[in-house]
Amino acid sequence: MRPFVLWILLSLSLSALSQGPEQQLLELEQQLKELDAEREALLAPIEAAKLAIIRKDLKENGLPALEAGETVTEHPGHVLVYSPEHRQPKWTAHLVTPDVVTGNLARVDTFLNDPLVPANGNYFDDYWFSGYDRGHLVPSADLRWSRDAMTATYYYSNISPQKPELNRGAWAELEDWVRRTVRYGGGRVYIVTGPVLEDGLPVLETPKATHQVRIPTRFFKVLADLDGPEPKGIAFLMENGLNDHPVISYAVPIDSVERLTGIDFFAAVDDAVEDRIEAQRDPKVWYHEGDPFFGEMEPIPPPLPRGMFNTVQAKHHIGNVATICGTVVSTRRTAKANALYLNMDRMHPHQDFYVTVWDHNGPNFSYDPETYLQDRKVCVTGKITVYDGIPGSA
């Protein structure tokens, strides 16, 4: 009997040993579930606290001066003043924070009337087949880290009629430009956005339109970094239509938008700081290392001397001999092609125009074009071709 008992004891011991790691795993997984539950329970109050800070800071520093009779409407992630006469916001204000980097909520795409703005209605019939997009002034993508904040951007109180060429083109690029400066800079940016509202603007005309929604001819976006050691500001002004130059071509000083709209931006900021940031319009100070567009330059503004064109205009002269002028912002040499590529105004692969210098033409230069032409404005004459959608010349 002794060998049999020993065998049973040995079997039980081996069974206990084999279950040990499994039991340990189950216990660890249970602990992880409990930690996840605790984390989930904290997310909602953390989000609420972040949104409360945004609204507080906006009211303390980020809002324009109010005119008589104007009322500020507060939403979770943005505030606004509504224009009942024009059936759209006069302006919106919000903060883009580093949370934009991790925000990944899906778009809502459900446009509703704003319950906090009695004069705001449901303008679906006014926009449907009007030829205009329902353009967000506060982009939903800026607030994809908060369901409540993002949902509020789909109220019609945040919507203005924008031509598709603007809304899906330069305006979308400008919104991305703002998010990149936050992503790569790590700070926060105060933003005030709005249409340029004027007397006599036309209205959206559709068979079922009833609300007289006015169509602006221009839109502005005003930015301020008030948290950094050196506050800075910049504004952008775009036509409600095609804007085919890079975003930075539409940069203007904030005070020029104030003169145009009559809106006093950042009225609560110290006067000396306000005067300084509202006179600035240098896009370069808003770029940070890592940004794929870091180092880009503004195309030379047209009109240029007769027969000369900037890099954006080059696409209109494909197949013809023309003189294209721009700034060499980067160079790229490839042994395979036996050539040097000069990228103008934007770096590869975002360049608007490039110049090919074949190695066999090297003796024609009294200098090394790879180093000498870097950061210089040049004009190149040749037949304009296109490769991979990018105009170029050799």
Gap between the Cα atoms of 169 and 188, Å rounded: 24
Q: Is 51 within the bounds of a domain?
A: no
Q: Are residues 251 and 320 in the same domain?
A: no
Residue at which a domain ends, from 286, 319, 353: 286
Q: Is 204 within the bounds of a domain?
A: yes
Please spell the DSSP secondary structure of 44-93, one letter per residue: HHHHHHHHHHHHHHIIIIIPPPPPTT--EEE-SSEEEEEETTTTEEEEEE
pLDDT of amino acid 355: 93
Buried-exposed string 147-157: b where 16+ CB fall within 10 A, e elsewhere: eebbbbbbbbb
Q: Which residues contact 260 (CB under 8 A, 6 or more apart)?
A: 196, 220, 237
Gap between the Cα atoms of 99 and 103, Å rounded: 6
Q: What is the CATH number of the domain that holds 336?
A: 2.40.50.140
Number of domains comprising the chain: 2
- The residue whose two tokens read 């009109």 is 303
C-alpha 40 chain-centroid distance: 29
Q: Are residues 376 and 335 in the same domain?
A: yes
**First-to-last C-alpha distance (Å) of the chain:** 97
346 and 294 Cβ atoms separated by less than 8 Å? no
SS3 224: strand
Q: Are residues 261 and 337 in the same domain?
A: no
Q: Are residues 167 and 220 in the same domain?
A: yes
pLDDT of amino acid 2: 53
Q: Which residues contact 96 (CB under 8 A, 6 or more apart)?
A: 142, 178, 179, 182, 188, 189, 191
Buried-exposed string 254-285: b where 16+ CB fall within 10 A, e elsewhere: bbebbeebebebbeebeeebbeebbebbebee
Please spell the DSSP secondary structure of 100-162, one letter per residue: GGT--PPP----B--TT-TT----HHHHTTSS-EEEESS-GGGGTT-HHHHHHTTBGGGEEEE
Q: Are residues 264 and 362 in the same domain?
A: no
Q: Are residues 230 and 280 in the same domain?
A: yes
| pLDDT tens-place string over residues 167-199 | 999 999 999 999 999 999 999 999 999 999 999
Q: Is 112 within the bounds of a domain?
A: yes
Q: Is 5 within the bounds of a domain?
A: no
DSSP state of 188: -
Q: What is the mean pLDDT of residues 219-246?
A: 96
Q: Is 52 within the bounds of a domain?
A: no
- The residue whose two tokens read 């507080």 is 56
Q: Is 384 within the bounds of a domain?
A: yes
Q: Are residues 254 and 386 in the same domain?
A: no
pLDDT of amino acid 24: 87
pLDDT of amino acid 9: 44
Q: Which of 366, 357, 360 is nearest to 333 (CA)?
A: 357
Q: What is the mean pLDDT of residues 79-90?
A: 97
Q: Is 35 within the bounds of a domain?
A: no
Q: Is 167 within the bounds of a domain?
A: yes
H helices present in the chain, as ranges: 2-57, 124-127, 147-152, 164-165, 171-185, 254-261, 271-277, 369-372
Q: Are residues 272 and 314 in the same domain?
A: no
Q: Are residues 282 and 366 in the same domain?
A: no
User: Taken in order 194, 251, 172, 43, is the CA torsion positive or negative?
Assistant: negative
Q: Are residues 94 and 203 in the same domain?
A: yes
Mean pLDDT, the chain, integer = 92
Q: Are residues 360 and 256 in the same domain?
A: no
| pLDDT tens-place string over residues 92-138 | 999 999 999 999 999 888 999 999 999 898 999 999 999 999 999 99
Buried-exposed string 224-239: b where 16+ CB fall within 10 A, e elsewhere: bbbeeeebbbbbbbbb
For residue 221, the tally of other CB atoms under 10 A from its CB is 23
Banded model confidence at residue 18, pLDDT cuts 50, 70, 90: low
User: Taken in order 177, 218, 142, 258, is the CA torsion positive or negative?
Assistant: positive
Q: What is the CATH number of the domain that holds 198?
A: 3.40.570.10
214 and 205 Cβ atoms separated by less than 8 Å? no
Q: What is the mean pLDDT of residues 262-286?
A: 96
Determine the structural domain holding residue 184 and report its residue range: 60-286
Percent of the chain scoring above 90 in pLDDT: 78
145 and 99 Cβ atoms separated by less than 8 Å? yes
For residue 5, the tally of other CB atoms under 10 A from its CB is 9
pLDDT at 12 over 50: no
